[in-house]
Structure 1
């Protein structure tokens, strides 16, 4: 007696297709709900708000004025023209360094195994 083994890929595709069929049923039901005619309700009249009596105008309050403050004199900064000027400092000169040769890398690198292909 031969047993048939169904590959797991075919089984998973079958399950996906069956689940999508049940999902489409929900969409069809939603579409039917949109197509059902809605009942018309009578329009309810809006209530009218009562009018309030006109209130007398309230005078605006006046803000208190403060007395004018005198101007504060600006402070005078001392001047230092009587001091002699100092020479500007100069940076020391560094001797010229000789040009260094560029390092060269070897062309053939040894191969380092990153993982083992054999089982211990």
Structure 2
């Protein structure tokens, strides 16, 4: 996990260093140029459209004034007068008294009986017998096992401690060698 993180960080460092090199080279090249950039393209002008003249609006004809006939001047009929109604009178309330609520007799509860105090008998003073200590069974002893001797195998090869010398002369190849001189 740490190795993959290390590789990822290393690849990011390499990518950023290469990117900054190209950017700095491009910026230097732009600074070294002396020619002005080409002028921006200009859009063609849109020709103005001719103004169209609208015909004048027709005038609204004048309408003749209408004369209304006068309203009839008949008087409104009078409403008949209503006779006054007699004032209602309520009969007087009866003067009977409301009967009083009967009183309930109060009951006297007898007093609660008191419970006698209970006393517990004393605990017996007998000794609790102790349990015998169980002894764990002894584990059986494993007999010693002797392995048979290894068979006589082929001896291991010896590793050379000296480096063989490499010949320094290049043998000549007949096809590439120059022809013999006479």
Q: TM-score, normalised by structure 2?
A: 0.22
Q: TM-score, normalised by structure 1?
A: 0.31
The structure with the larger Rg is: 2
Which is helix-richer, 1 or 2?
1
